[in-house]
Chains A and B, each alone.
Chain A
């Protein structure tokens, strides 16, 4: 059985590179589906990211699962996909069962205790996984056999005690827990039968607590164990060695406060008790972030205050805007969640035409995406109101003369006349006004790169707007596109890219071409201003659609809870005025605050930013379809 498993693993995949080079499957290709997969398994508490180049094991910090960036496509690419799934599921279970956050071992534990704990907890999780998700049991069993085969063929002839125990355990089936003597004579183990029995009982138990006691006990029996044991690759490693480093770096970066970046794939988890394991950040992620911020990216901008937010001292005295600051601006209140009241005339919003760019940009987009644009237009044509008058109705606002004549003729002829003598006119015009509010904060200058494309968020936004306008051009819906940025309450800008009364023509196209990343994301005043503009539109349905890449944020204390509360208020005000609100965001963490601001059903997180372009159009179609 072992030999065949090993042979299977080593035989080249069908269609493999004849030069003998191993075919590889990239995580990037799998990321959209794996992200959703992990989200479903972890109830949204975990996300995935690529680990450092060359990584073999997954690693998790309790929020992110870092997966190996590539996996060999051993027997087939599908097999590699399956292994990615196994790794992800294993890490989800590891985080969920509390193996990460339990503080399973005292801080002064020896390496030997850590090694035993890691080994036992992995074995325990294997069994939990097979029971919880039986569909993965067979691939897990294959992986275990393959790992065992590799160890026996390539490993030492006379292995150390921990390695002996691991090989013994890997040989045991995953379903029913066997008895001690059933698979291997206990003499080959480095401890007596009683301990072996206790080991099996502990592994079969649903509670992981006993693992800790057992690991400490085994450590006293093997004091000469000074390195961690090499484990099967699907198991996420516990990295005790990084713990100390992480704590220091978390403190240094934020002046000793428990403060975290609101966005970005990595977060220190040292705040939760005393976890044994912390793999804080994968080097590639760090490199990517540095890369992003170096090119005008989000890190410089998007820093929030985390949970232990304190009111900034400036907020203690409420200074009204000066006359100069008010000049030429529309004034809006702001909801101060610290004191639970509105601050009247607190924000100055200035509306101006967006600066035009080069029309070539838009024409290039249209040229490149002609088939897609045609497709979107066709879809939108289906939204056009249908014919308005229905003839031969039971009831209606007018008589259907043709039907009456026919009925009279029928009656005269002695036939049963039809009862459908009316015609009915149905008001079916769409009568919709849309204000599309686009986040043009600095963070939209961040770079999104996967292997196929490297572009800024704002480029994707630009494309999205072009597609939306093109699609809307086949309908009579009245719409405006407004960009917004904030740089403190004194300078909230609304850039009119397209006004309600403007046609979508060269001028508007040039303005779309001209959008550039600005400052911060002060959503509240932008929503209030848009509400006023929308309320003036004589439409039956009014929609405020927000496109954003992050949470509310401005540098004069408008962040964290405060910004979220104000935005929520602004949206409530809009809804009270009969305006429907909806948000599309690309922030992976949006689930933490979006339901609170927009309500549970009125936002969508677009997982793949490149999909935003088509997603938005699709969404609008869906939202406004009858």
Chain B
């Protein structure tokens, strides 16, 4: 359960995570995150898409009982979108905090999702919040905001993007404690897929087996291998009565690749694992 809190921004939202989200720790990430929180260190969640970075953060927000401000970064995101701006209301101009300023002011966890999508000049505005002074200067109002102790900055980053323009600058990266996320080990992944999709463990196990095989194709031109999320989607379709082969075709093969050979291969793998 979570409450969406009304927010004035179009690119960000605030949530209060009320009920414990389902999350299975893979290694020591929970302890590491708590240590970073206690020490006021910013954290970078690193890993491919769909392996549970966002879920982990929601879980940690619940554990630490902090509101979570999530910003979905994109390439038109400007510094003002993060910090805030004067809006004209009627005849007056009114200052409105951006999500980053808001989180620093109230002591929330500010999550910049897929930070590399943001333009580089936008990214640098987070720098002053990441060193030990944790201060933010708002040039337009002249305010020097010192972040609340509970404030925490978290960014997510997917190193698998084969793109030149989408890379994190070393000066940004080196300000974060990086927690690596990868596909969970098979036993855990089976449990996750079974829980999230409501499938029996046998079928969930077959989906995980399929995911494992597809992940071997990564350096053959498959941009992103089958994520746990895709496996869960396939599981949900199966659970709704779609035949397993068809479900995998719809939720896994088709989204992963447009390349005919790769797609045929994935379908062949599906029909190797699932009987008709």
Residues of A within 8 A of B (CB): 32-33, 36-37, 39-44, 85, 89, 133-138, 394-395, 407, 411, 416-417, 419, 421, 424, 426, 432, 541, 543, 580, 582, 591, 594-595, 600-608, 615, 619, 622-626
Contact present for A604 and B221 (CB under 8 Å)? yes
Residues of B within 8 A of A421 (CB): 88
Residues of B within 8 A of A600 (CB): 219
Q: Other than A40-B216, A138-B275, give 7 A-B pairs with Cβ distance below 8 A.
A: A36-B262, A40-B269, A417-B88, A580-B167, A606-B221, A623-B162, A626-B75
- The answer, yes or no, to whether B144 is at the interface (CB within 8 Å) is no
Known contacts A41-B213, A604-B221: does B272 contact A133 (CB below 8 Å)? Answer: yes
Contact present for B261 and A32 (CB under 8 Å)? yes
Residues of B within 8 A of A582 (CB): 162
Shortest CB-to-CB span from B181 to chain A, Å, is 15
- The answer, yes or no, to whether B163 is at the interface (CB within 8 Å) is yes
Known contacts A39-B216, A395-B80, A605-B220: does B164 contact A623 (CB below 8 Å)? Answer: yes
Contact present for B87 and A419 (CB under 8 Å)? yes
Residues of B within 8 A of A44 (CB): 216
A394, B81: Cα distance in complex, Å: 9
In the complex, what residue of chain B is closest to A607 when comparing beta carbons? B220
Residues of A within 8 A of B275 (CB): 134-135, 137-138
Contact string against A for B residues 263-274, beta-carbon threshold 8 Å, 1 for contact and 0 otherwise: 011001111111
A43, B262: Cα distance in complex, Å: 15
Within 8 A of A (CB), among B139-167: 159-165, 167
A421, B86: Cα distance in complex, Å: 11
Across the interface, B269 reaches (CB within 8 A) one of A37, A580, A603, namely: A37
Residues of A within 8 A of B80 (CB): 394-395
A623, B161: Cα distance in complex, Å: 9
Contact present for A134 and B164 (CB under 8 Å)? no
Residues of B within 8 A of A615 (CB): 221
Known contacts A133-B272, A136-B272, A624-B164: does B217 contact A39 (CB below 8 Å)? Answer: yes
Shortest CB-to-CB span from A271 to chain B, Å, is 25
Residues of A within 8 A of B54 (CB): none
In the complex, what residue of chain A is closest to B76 when comparing beta carbons? A426
Query: Could you give 26 example pairs across A and B, Cβ below 8 Å?
Result: A32-B261, A33-B261, A33-B264, A33-B265, A36-B217, A36-B262, A40-B216, A40-B265, A44-B216, A85-B268, A135-B274, A135-B276, A137-B275, A138-B276, A417-B88, A417-B90, A419-B89, A580-B164, A582-B162, A591-B219, A595-B219, A601-B160, A619-B162, A622-B163, A623-B162, A624-B163
Contact present for A605 and B219 (CB under 8 Å)? yes
In the complex, what residue of chain B is closest to A393 when comparing beta carbons? B78
Across the interface, A85 reaches (CB within 8 A) one of B85, B213, B217, B272, namely: B272
Shortest CB-to-CB span from B125 to chain A, Å, is 13
Shortest CB-to-CB span from A579 to chain B, Å, is 10
Residues of A within 8 A of B241 (CB): none
Contact present for B165 and A541 (CB under 8 Å)? yes
Known contacts A32-B261, A411-B91, A601-B160: does B273 contact A594 (CB below 8 Å)? Answer: no
Shortest CB-to-CB span from B52 to chain A, Å, is 20
A601, B160: Cα distance in complex, Å: 6
Contact present for A594 and B219 (CB under 8 Å)? yes
- The answer, yes or no, to whether B100 is at the interface (CB within 8 Å) is no
Residues of B within 8 A of A (CB): 75-76, 78, 80, 85, 87-91, 159-165, 167, 206, 213-214, 216-217, 219-221, 223, 245, 261-262, 264-265, 268-276
Residues of A within 8 A of B85 (CB): 394-395
Residues of B within 8 A of A133 (CB): 272-273
In the complex, what residue of chain B is closest to A42 when comparing beta carbons? B216
A601, B162: Cα distance in complex, Å: 7
Shortest CB-to-CB span from A587 to chain B, Å, is 12
In the complex, what residue of chain B is closest to A615 when comparing beta carbons? B221
Across the interface, A36 reaches (CB within 8 A) one of B206, B220, B270, namely: B220
Across the interface, B165 reaches (CB within 8 A) one of A42, A395, A417, A624, namely: A624
In the complex, what residue of chain B is closest to A540 when comparing beta carbons? B165
Residues of B within 8 A of A595 (CB): 219
Shortest CB-to-CB span from B23 to chain A, Å, is 26
Shortest CB-to-CB span from A523 to chain B, Å, is 19
In the complex, what residue of chain B is closest to A417 when comparing beta carbons? B88
Residues of A within 8 A of B272 (CB): 41, 85, 89, 133, 135-136
A623, B165: Cα distance in complex, Å: 8
A24, B167: Cα distance in complex, Å: 50
Residues of A within 8 A of B274 (CB): 134-135
Residues of B within 8 A of A33 (CB): 261, 264-265, 268
Shortest CB-to-CB span from B75 to chain A, Å, is 6
Residues of B within 8 A of A426 (CB): 76
Residues of A within 8 A of B76 (CB): 426
Contact present for A416 and B90 (CB under 8 Å)? yes
Contact present for A135 and B273 (CB under 8 Å)? yes
A563, B275: Cα distance in complex, Å: 47
Residues of B within 8 A of A135 (CB): 245, 270-276
In the complex, what residue of chain B is closest to A421 when comparing beta carbons? B88
Contact present for A36 and B261 (CB under 8 Å)? yes
Contact present for B261 and A39 (CB under 8 Å)? no
Across the interface, A419 reaches (CB within 8 A) one of B75, B88, B213, B220, namely: B88
A43, B220: Cα distance in complex, Å: 12
A85, B75: Cα distance in complex, Å: 44
In the complex, what residue of chain A is closest to B85 when comparing beta carbons? A395
Residues of A within 8 A of B213 (CB): 40-41
Residues of B within 8 A of A605 (CB): 219-220
